[in-house]
Amino acid sequence: MIALLARLFLHNTKDEEAVRHSYGMICGCVGIVLNLILSCFKIVLGALIGSLAIQADGFNNLGDVGSSLVSLCGFILSGKKPDAEHPYGHGRAEYLSALVIAFLILLMGFELIKSSVESLVSRAPAPVFTIAAFVVLLCSIGVKLYMALYNSRYGKKYASSAMLATAKDSLFDCITSGAVLLSMGLNRIWGINADPWCSLGVSLLILWGGYGTAKETVDLLLGKKADPELIRSIADTVMAHEGILGVHDLYVHDYGPGRMMITLHAEVDEDADMLSTHDLIDNIEWELNRKYNCLSTIHMDPIAVNNPETDEAKAQVKQALKKIDERITIHDFRLVRGQTHTNLVFDISAPYEIKLSDAELKAQAVQEIIAVDEAYNPVITIDRR
């Protein structure tokens, strides 16, 4: 259905951003229609046969209508072009919509827990099994599974957190409807009133799904660490160029889907021709922009090459720092010889997993390096990665 609607409305456009925006709009509209239909059938049917679990499932679907509307609004806002007040675009509006969806899921979960507990306390009668209820719930599972599949497919294809959140919500709805069917079957076969217990279990499942969605979205808004594979791929792309001697301080800034910025430092020979090196850096930036659909900025770091004295001191420093932690690396290493001491100017790159504070790490590094040669005066900057 989604592919058919896309063919009708996209008219073979080749603008990737417009295609992504259109798919988000189509998926959101289809979700609203399907959830409205499901919620109406379930709420009416649950009231007729006295099933709290079916009514709860129906109200959950009604909440999904709100989720689809929020997702739709997120795509509309994120599709706006950059302006003077938002030079990096409005892509993070989609993350905000995913966060609102997560809160709606959590709210629905708390409301269902309240209803389930009230049903247990009041000892409400078990719902009556009917063919109509069985058919509606079975159809609901099929529809929700379809929604989970298309939202997951296009969410992954277009890196949409809102669509992936909707896919997860739809998958939980499949389990919810399955639990309601189970409660009706238990009552039909063994006379066990499992309806409020299934409703309670469904509520807890909804809360868990809402928490997971909220956590993922908050991580994106706060600035989640980029995928290590992406970092490695970017570094490999830069290092593939002759004249690049090293890469460090590589950061990926996420301003929403399709709004990625890359900044990094590239080490080059300090004796190389400046104009040629600048031209090389420009070419690498253009390559990164095309390959990763991003905006990249590269800072040149000139370093001494084939200088025996510098190479020896650098090797000694690396060996000394291994005594603190094997994962520590250094970059931007310079040696400045003086009459009474030798300044070693460099940056330490240390993972966040090293629990030492920056001051403690620097103090230990200085101690280890001076132990190698008392004439060394380390001038250290700490970078975390």
In this predicted model, what pLDDT tens digit does every residue of 279-309 receive, in sequence order?
999 999 999 998 888 889 999 988 888 888 8
Tell me, yes or no, whether 209 and 115 share the same domain. yes
What pLDDT score does 241 carry? 95
pLDDT of residue 11 exceeding 80: no
101 and 20 belong to one structural domain: yes
C-alpha closest to that of 205 among 53, 38, 46: 53
The pTM score is 0.63
Nearest one of 179, 43, 63 to 110, comparing CA atoms: 63
Measured CA to CA, the distance from residue 76 to residue 229 in angstroms comes to: 31
- Give the pLDDT of residue 324: 93
Comparing 187-196, 198-207, 311-320, 356-365, the range with the smallest average pLDDT is 187-196
Q: What share of the chain has pLDDT > 70, as a percent?
A: 90
Same domain, 316 and 285: no
The pLDDT of residue 275: 92
- Output the six-digit token pair for 41: 């059938």
- Contact between residue 41 and residue 136 where contact means Cβ atoms under 8 Å apart: yes
User: Tens of pLDDT along 100-120?
Assistant: 878 877 887 787 788 778 777
| Angstrom distance (rounded) from CA 275 to CA 206 | 59
Identify whether residues 296 and 196 lie together within a single domain.
no
**Cα–Cα distance between 170 and 31 in angstroms, integer?**
10
> pLDDT band for position 206 (50/70/90)?
confident
Mean pLDDT, range 196-207, rounded to an integer: 78
From first CA to last CA, the distance across the chain in angstroms is 45
Q: What is the DSSP letter of 263?
A: E
Confidence of residue 27 (pLDDT cuts 50, 70, 90): confident
Q: What is the pLDDT of residue 270?
A: 86
Question: What single DSSP character describes residue 225?
Answer: P
Section 317-334 average pLDDT: 91
Q: Is the pLDDT of residue 3 over 70?
A: no
Boundary-marking domain end, from 222, 240, 265: 222
Q: What's the pLDDT at 101?
A: 77
Residue 1: its pLDDT value, please?
Answer: 67
| pLDDT attached to residue 372 | 92
The domain that holds 183 is classified in CATH as: 1.20.1510.10
What CATH number corresponds to the domain at position 294?
3.30.70.1350
Under DSSP, the state recorded for 322 is H
Which is higher by pLDDT, 307 or 263?
263
Shared domain for 59 and 108, answered yes or no, is yes
| Residue type (1 letter), 36 | L
CA angle (72, 77, 80) in 5-degree steps: 130
Burial class (CB in 10 A: 0-12, 13-18, 19+), 345: middle
- Do 216 and 232 fall within a single domain? no
Same domain as 335, residue 206: no
The pLDDT of 183-210, averaged and rounded, is 77
User: What angle separates helix 16-49 from helix 161-190, to the nearest 10 degrees?
Assistant: 20
CB 348 within 8 A of CB 384: no
- Per-residue confidence (pLDDT) for residue 371, from 0 to 100: 92
Where is the domain boundary, 275, 303, 331? 303
Domain membership of residue 43 as a residue range:
2-222
**In a shared domain, residues 81 and 107:** yes
- pLDDT score at 257: 67
State how far the Cα of 335 lies from the Cα of 18, in Å rounded to an integer. 52
**The pLDDT value given to residue 102:** 81
In the listed set 200, 222, 244, which residue is the last one of a domain according to the structure? 222
**Same domain, yes or no, for 285 and 313?**
no
Give the span between the Cα atoms of 326 and 259, in whole angstroms: 35
Residue 119 sits in the same domain as residue 264: no
Confidence of residue 12 (pLDDT cuts 50, 70, 90): low
For residue 329, the cross-strand partners are 349
Rounded Cα–Cα distance for residues 184 and 193 (Å): 8
Residue 57 — very low, low, confident or very high, per pLDDT cuts 50/70/90? confident
Element (H, E) at 252: strand 246-254
> Mind listing the pLDDT tens digit for each residue in 150-167?
888 888 887 777 788 778
Q: Do 263 and 251 touch, CB atoms closer than 8 A?
A: yes
How far is the C-alpha of 249 from the C-alpha of 297, rounded, in Å?
12
Same domain, 218 and 248: no
Assess whether pLDDT exceeds 60 at residue 50: yes
Q: Are residues 114 and 248 both part of a single domain?
A: no
Determine the Cα–Cα distance for residues 186 and 179; give it in Å rounded to an integer. Answer: 11
Domain count, the chain: 3
